[in-house]
């Protein structure tokens, strides 16, 4: 059966989904903003780190050049070199070569002191000889000294060649190249100075350039594609434009520079833009993963909520619709140990109880109608009317007006209760008054043969509502089988006994005896629940009391010591709805 549609209202699941999305969406958006904000911070930190690395690379280069210059000054003033220059060609051969070894040893000490120095050489102008830590003592070609002296302009600068990087120092310092006595040359290691430090940790496809502002040229251009990069950088430098980004070989590069006042050079670092935005791509991937996970989580959560909340609710709604259509056999099952288990159990219990109450109400009405039918049959019985009216006629003829008035009063009260009271339940006080009127009529009929001892009804029992006509049929049995048929004499007793949870109406005495087998048959009929059993007056009263007041209520039959019948009408369950707050309101 299809689910009933709920119009103009949101279902619980829709309201829950709206509340859930109202909480989750702001959290997701806040997470996205935090990720994007963190992306910018990371990118800025990476750029700052690259700038710091470039700064420390330049600082390292400055420190190395300063160290080399200090070593050159130490060698320039070294006693061994000064002695060798002064006495070159004037000493005996043995002493001369001893001086050569002392100079070489001194230069090796300075070379070993700095791992960036690859070779130290000294060139003498007068003797046209050279001493090198790499080649030792030699006589260079005549053009070598002139080439070196031509590179000396009175200032120590780095000289970048194809195969080497060197720094020259001529002695004396303040003279021109024509007046110098010797030239001190320090060759630096490209691998140590640049490859192991300047190019370390710069990433793949990155470029490092040194630009000499004095000579207005690039000094160091390692790597493939450096020539094209130099051309592009030169175009910016010639226009004196700041360099931020350049395009090299179809790629975008981010350019940073660091200037050295000490050497009047700049260190340029070109990093491919993808290296800087690589973190952006990772963050974008993380962002997409975060969104996908959030969406998956939201869908799974809503499906989970629908499974544990929405489906049980709809199943409960469908069950209510079945009950609404009259299916009181409907039972639903739920296996999880949560609140719905309690609701389902209570629903099943409610349906069973509702079915039982409806069945009880139906049977109660049926029994009441049967009782009323029997009473109407007795009411219109010619024998009963004949006896009563004949007795009234005789009293009038005998001019016994007092008795006739009393009898007519009892009869009028009796007939009014029987014919005009259409309620299925009455106050116990009204039922007792009706029986008292009936017994008064019968006492006047049988005279001294029938004596009645009827206790007063306790005040707390008067406002109790009981099924109508539960006491008179019991009393009628005593009158019919004790006085009419047998014709004996006896006292009929009606007593009221209060109990912890209810009360008993005990009818006993009279003059009728009952055999044991007959008593057993009556008890079996009272205990039987089968509809095929003939519903007599006692069985009708028994079932009505049981339906009204629950188990433990009804009629109980016994025999006294003389074999006479004792009938107990028991009410066990005293319910609040069976009382009224104002006994004076009873009709």
Residue 15 above 90 pLDDT? no
Which of residues 405 and 318 earns the better pLDDT score?
A: 405
**DSSP conformational letter for 584:** G
Which of the listed ranges 53-57, 169-173, 328-332, 460-464 does the model predict with the highest average pLDDT? Answer: 460-464
Reported residue count of the chain is: 587
Q: Quick one: pLDDT at residue 379?
A: 45
Q: Quick one: pLDDT at residue 428?
A: 92
> Are residue 461 and residue 400 in the same domain, yes or no?
yes
Residue 477 · residue 492 · CB < 8 Å:
no
Residue 81 · residue 183 · CB < 8 Å:
no
Least confident of 157-161, 428-432, 463-467: 157-161
The answer to whether residue 172 sits within a structural domain is yes
The answer to whether residue 323 sits within a structural domain is no
**Contacts by 379-383, CB closer than 8 A, 24 or more apart:** 379/415, 379/418, 379/419
Q: Quick one: pLDDT at residue 528?
A: 78
> Are residue 252 and residue 171 in the same domain, yes or no?
no
The HSE-up count of residue 402 (CA atoms within 13 Å, CB side) is 0
> Are residue 362 and residue 452 in the same domain, yes or no?
yes
Residue 323 above 70 pLDDT? yes
The per-residue pLDDT for range 344-379, each reduced to its tens digit, is 788 788 887 777 777 777 666 666 656 555 554 454
> Are residue 85 and residue 222 in the same domain, yes or no?
no
> Are residue 228 and residue 99 in the same domain, yes or no?
no
> Are residue 173 and residue 221 in the same domain, yes or no?
no
The answer to whether residue 157 sits within a structural domain is yes
Rounded Cα distance, 488 and 449, in Å: 7
The answer to whether residue 508 sits within a structural domain is yes
| Phi and psi torsions of 399, nearest 5° | 55, 30
Q: Domain boundary residue among 233, 259, 275? A: 275
Q: Quick one: pLDDT at residue 320?
A: 79
CATH code, domain with 99: 3.30.450
> Are residue 388 and residue 486 in the same domain, yes or no?
yes
Confidence of residue 496 (pLDDT cuts 50, 70, 90): very high
The answer to whether residue 28 sits within a structural domain is no
> Are residue 166 and residue 226 in the same domain, yes or no?
no
Distance of CA 302 to the CA centre of its chain: 10
Least confident of 153-162, 414-423, 439-448, 495-504: 153-162
Q: Domain boundary residue among 193, 227, 247? A: 193
The answer to whether residue 18 sits within a structural domain is no
**DSSP conformational letter for 331:** -
Least confident of 135-139, 201-205, 443-447, 517-521: 201-205
| Mean pLDDT of the region 136-155 | 67
Cis peptide before 172 (omega within 30 of 0): yes
Please tell me the chain's helix, strand, coil percentages from 3-state DSSP, rounded to the nearest 5. Answer: 55, 20, 25
| Mean pLDDT of the region 39-53 | 75
Rounded Cα distance, 184 and 75, in Å: 8
The answer to whether residue 12 sits within a structural domain is no
Rounded Cα distance, 67 and 542, in Å: 123
The answer to whether residue 290 sits within a structural domain is no
> Are residue 169 and residue 209 in the same domain, yes or no?
no
The per-residue pLDDT for range 383-422, each reduced to its tens digit, is 666 777 888 888 888 888 888 888 888 888 888 887 765 6
Residue 88 above 70 pLDDT? no
> Are residue 535 and residue 571 in the same domain, yes or no?
yes
Which of residues 286 and 464 earns the better pLDDT score?
A: 464
CATH code, domain with 502: 3.30.565.10
| Residue 156 structural domain | 77-193
> Are residue 107 and residue 147 in the same domain, yes or no?
yes
> Are residue 493 and residue 416 in the same domain, yes or no?
yes
Q: How many domains does the chain have?
A: 3
Q: Select from 549, 543, 544, 458 the least CA-distant residue to 501.
A: 549
| Phi and psi torsions of 585, nearest 5° | -85, 0
Rounded Cα distance, 243 and 240, in Å: 9
Q: Among the residues of 421-506, which ranges form H helices?
A: 428-446, 472-478
Confidence of residue 433 (pLDDT cuts 50, 70, 90): very high
Q: What percent of the chain has pLDDT over 70?
A: 74
Least confident of 7-21, 56-70, 193-207, 385-399: 7-21
Confidence of residue 291 (pLDDT cuts 50, 70, 90): confident
**DSSP conformational letter for 306:** I
């Amino acid at each position: 059966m299809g689910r009933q549609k709920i119009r103009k209202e949101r279902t619980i699941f829709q309201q829950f989904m709206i509340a859930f999305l109202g909480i989750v969406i702001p959290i997701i958006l806040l997470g996205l903003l935090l990720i994007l904000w963190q992306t910018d911070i990371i990118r800025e930190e990476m750029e700052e780190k690259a700038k710091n690395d470039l700064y420390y690379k330049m600082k390292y280069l400055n420190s190395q050049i300063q160290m080399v210059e200090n070593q050159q000054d130490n060698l320039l003033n070294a006693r061994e070199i000064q002695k060798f220059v002064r006495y070159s060609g004037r000493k005996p051969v043995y002493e001369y070569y001893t001086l050569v070894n002392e100079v070489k040893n001194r230069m090796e000490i300075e070379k070993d002191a700095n791992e960036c120095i690859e070779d130290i050489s000294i060139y003498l102008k007068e003797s046209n000889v050279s001493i090198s830590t790499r080649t030792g003592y030699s006589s260079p070609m005549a053009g070598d000294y002139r080439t070196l002296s031509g590179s000396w302009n009175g200032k120590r600068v780095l000289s970048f060649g194809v195969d080497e990087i060197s720094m020259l120092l001529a002695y004396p310092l303040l003279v021109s190249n024509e007046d110098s006595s010797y030239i001190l040359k320090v060759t630096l290691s490209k691998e140590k100075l640049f490859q192991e430090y300047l190019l370390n940790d710069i990433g793949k496809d990155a470029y490092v350039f040194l630009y000499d502002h004095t000579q207005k040229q690039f000094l160091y251009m390692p790597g493939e594609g450096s020539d094209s990069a130099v051309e592009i950088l030169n175009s910016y430098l010639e226009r004196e434009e700041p360099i931020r980004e350049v395009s090299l070989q179809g790629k975008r590069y981010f350019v940073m520079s660091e200037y050295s006042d000490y050497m009047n050079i700049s260190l340029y670092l070109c990093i491919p833009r993808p290296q800087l935005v690589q973190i952006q791509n990772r963050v974008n991937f993380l962002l997409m993963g975060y969104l996908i996970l959030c969406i998956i989580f939201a869908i799974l959560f809503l499906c989970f909520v629908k499974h544990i909340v929405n489906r049980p609710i709809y199943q409960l709604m469908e069950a209510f619709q079945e009950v609404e259509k009259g299916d009181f056999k409907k039972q639903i099952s739920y296996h999880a140990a949560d609140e719905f288990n309690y609701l389902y159990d209570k629903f099943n219990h409610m349906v069973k109880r509702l079915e039982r109450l409806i069945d009880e109400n139906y049977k109660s009405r049926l029994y009441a109608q049967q009782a009323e039918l029997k009473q109407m049959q007795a009411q219109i019985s010619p024998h009963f009317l004949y006896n009563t009216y004949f007795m009234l006629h005789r009293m009038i003829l005998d001019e016994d007006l007092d008795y006739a008035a009393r009898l007519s009063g009892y009869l009028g009260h009796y007939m009014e209760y029987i014919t005009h009271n259409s309620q299925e339940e009455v106050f116990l006080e009204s039922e007792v008054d009706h029986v008292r009127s009936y017994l008064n009529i019968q006492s006047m009929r049988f005279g001294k043969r029938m004596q009645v001892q009827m206790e007063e009804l306790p005040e707390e029992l008067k406002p109790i509502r009981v099924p109508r006509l539960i006491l008179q049929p019991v009393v009628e049995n005593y009158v019919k089988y004790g006085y009419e048929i047998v014709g004996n004499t006896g006292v009929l007793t009606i007593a009221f006994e209060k109990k912890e949870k209810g009360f008993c109406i005990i009818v006993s005495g009279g003059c009728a005896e009952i055999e044991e087998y007959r008593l057993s048959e009556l008890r079996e009929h009272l205990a039987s629940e089968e509809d095929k059993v003939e519903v007599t007056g006692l069985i009708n009263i028994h079932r009505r009391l049981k339906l009204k007041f629950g188990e433990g209520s009804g009629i109980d039959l016994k025999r006294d010591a003389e074999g006479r019948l004792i009938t107990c009408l028991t009410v066990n369950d005293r319910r609040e709805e069976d009382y009224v707050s104002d006994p004076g309101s009873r009709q």
